[in-house]
Structure 1
Amino acid sequence: MRNIYYLILGIVLTICCTACNKEWEDEQYSYMASFKANVNAQGVTTTYVRFKPGGVVKYDLPVIMSGSTLTGKSHTIHFGLDPDTLERLNIEQYGHREELYFQQLPNKYYSMPESVEMPAGECLTTLPIEFKLDETLDQADKWVLPIQILDDQSYDYQANLRKYYRRAMLRLLPFNDYSGTYDAAQYRIFLKPDVKNPFTISSQRAFVVDDRTIFIYAGTRDIDYLDRKQYKVFIRFPEKGTDSKLLEVWSDNPEIELELDEKKACTFTMNEEMDELKPYLKKIYITLYLYYSFKDYTTVPGTKLEYVVEGSLAMQRNLNTLIPDEDQQIQW
């Protein structure tokens, strides 16, 4: 009888040992293609691209193949535009206020391949997008390039089922040496004749016009005002290598009657230094001093409200000099 027990025990042990395998070496999930494109509160991915007039700037959008193991074969991943999701996003964010909608970037400003290869044994590749920007692309509009990973039964992969993984809403923000978000703690907007109780704003965004020109919005306006295009204030910096600190300031809309004061010139300073604790980190400080007046003719129909704007806008741009790619080097 004892031998029978030993025999049964041996059989059970044999079955158990045979059944055990290294399950961690088997694929635990599905191979799914995804974008690595983190979204902000508006559901878009901020995409910074250096402005180069007449030149091409390459942007590499990361594409990931998910799974617990590396795929043993290559996959051809296909891409296309996704205007339907962009339309839905606009409605969710802004309702029926179409003047605030994100706009799809016109085809002439970019090019990208229809597919890329995910090599065998790899889980990361990039979708190369080439942007060709010029002064005709008005940054008063919110340009977005909506891309999706295409899915089909004939493809040898599956697109990720989650919206923000299979789609990338690239919110294009070209930059030059002077664009960005300026601190406006020392910036004052006076409604004449009251010069004792100024309006204030916390920050002012400067948008690209060309390689040495930016524009801001007059007074308290920002990109979410319906009439913002009528209140652009252009600022041009002098050629590099010159000692001039004077700024050229003007408006393209004569109706706001933008005026400068010869006694209070618009100027700027620009300095840089290396961080004391992080020697690889370069800090660039830009300060603008502005003084101008303008008239608001849209807030109260039939009435022009005169404003005087005076003060400083300051920005600090940090550059990680260890990173070769400029769009990744700047710590936005």
Structure 2
Amino acid sequence: MQKIYTLIVLMAVVLLGTSCNDEWKDEQYEHYIAFRSPLNNKGVTEIFVPYSRKGADGSSQEGKSNYQLPLIVSGSTNNQQNIKVNVAHDPDTLQTLNLARYQHRTDLFYVDMGEENLGFVSFPGTVDFKPGEDVSLLDISFDFRGIDMSQKWVLPLTVVDNASSDYKSHPRKNYAKAILRILPFNSFSGRYSGTTLQNFVKGDEGSGSIVANTVTGYVVDDHTIFFYAGNIDEDRTDRANYKLFAEFNGAETGGIVNFYVENPELNFVNHKDASYRIIEEMDAVRPYLLRRYVIINNIDYEYSDYTAVPGSSITYIVRGSLTLVRTINTQIPDEDQAIEW
């Protein structure tokens, strides 16, 4: 009798196990369409794109680049059908984000680079998924020539669906929408250490200096970046008036940096010819990591801050050096993916 009971229990366990395993063959969730674009604490997804991207043959056209944005089909099983997903420019979501985050500070608003009249960006209106594919890529093309990086450029996108669509966009809004903060870069742009760059009020150099932990260099073209003069940063409403351009002329290991401005009201005077050098070394612990240093020496200039105090102008002296460090994973072939931002 005991053997019969044992056999019955074993059969029940087998049947229950088979039933549980069969459940996982069925879809447990919906096959929603979503972007792979996680948001940061500023409500956007930072995308670093080369100012000029090299083609397969090693050639490039200045200011032309692209980025491939992943779209995914969610669910516990693989997609088994052909899907044509509609993607569109989404200025309404950007407007909502700007108002919610910055309210009346319109000078801090993100600027929509997807406006057709600007000509900075283009992308196809559809993305195709084939059976067996759960990830597809939206190829976004950029033309950065003439872009002013004193503006905070973003590209807002959305997955579009309707009653006739054979798919559903993800019900979570931050999944079905992408707010891409576009950050083009060249070999010299990025966050420099500013601890050795000193800012003095002219005529009062003995009273101490103003030092910033980081100083950001923004792309202008393949060989030129701009900083904000002195201690000006992107929180200043009139920051665009204080752009200090740095043109790098030389070989791969170093050369001359030509500093200049386009705004005559800065009363800019350059006291020395600045230079730069580039040092590359492999990481001692992780030998596949390359550390690339760009060091700008002999910075010595003066400029006038003519808007901080209404009706008066303050002249500053800026002296010292700047250092940019880039960590590059040599095992990754794509330049923008290889850099550890």
TM-score (norm 2): 0.88
Alignment of 1:244-323 (within 5 A): 245-261=255-271, 264-289=272-297, 290-323=299-332
Q: In the alignment, does 2:48 pair up with 1:48?
A: yes
The residue that corresponds to 1:116 in the other structure is 127
Q: In the alignment, does 2:178 pair up with 1:173?
A: no
* Alignment CA distance shift 1:48-1:17 (3 Å): closer
Shift of 1:288: 1.3
Alignment of 1:1-332 (within 5 A): 20=19, 22-52=22-52, 54=62, 56-105=64-113, 106-107=115-116, 108-134=119-145, 136-195=146-205, 196-240=207-251, 245-261=255-271, 264-289=272-297, 290-332=299-341
Point out the more displaced range, 47-56 or 226-235. 47-56
* Alignment CA distance shift 1:19-1:327 (3 Å): closer
**Aligned-pair RMSD on alpha carbons?**
2.3
Amino acid at match of 2:296: L
Give a deviation string over 1:5-25, Cα, whole Å, max 9, x none: x9xx99x97xx7799361111
Moved over 4 A (4+): 16-19
Amino acid at match of 2:19: C
Give a deviation string over 1:138-158, Cα, whole Å, max 9, x none: 111111111111121211111
TM-score (norm 1): 0.90
* Alignment CA distance shift 1:305-1:69 (3 Å): same
Equivalent residue pairs, number = 320
Give a deviation string over 1:13-38, Cα, whole Å, max 9, x none: 7xx77993611111110011111112
**Corresponding residue SS for 1:331:** coil
**Corresponding residue SS for 2:24:** helix
Amino acid at match of 2:235: D
Point out the more displaced range, 176-185 or 20-29. 20-29
Unaligned runs of 5+ in 2: 53-60
Shift of 1:210: 0.7
CA distance in 2, matches of 1:179, 1:158: 40
Give a deviation string over 1:136-193, Cα, whole Å, max 9, x none: 1111111111111112121111111112211111111111000001111111111133
**Corresponding residue SS for 1:20:** helix
* Residues 66 and 141, structure 2, Cα contact 8 Å, conserved in 1: yes
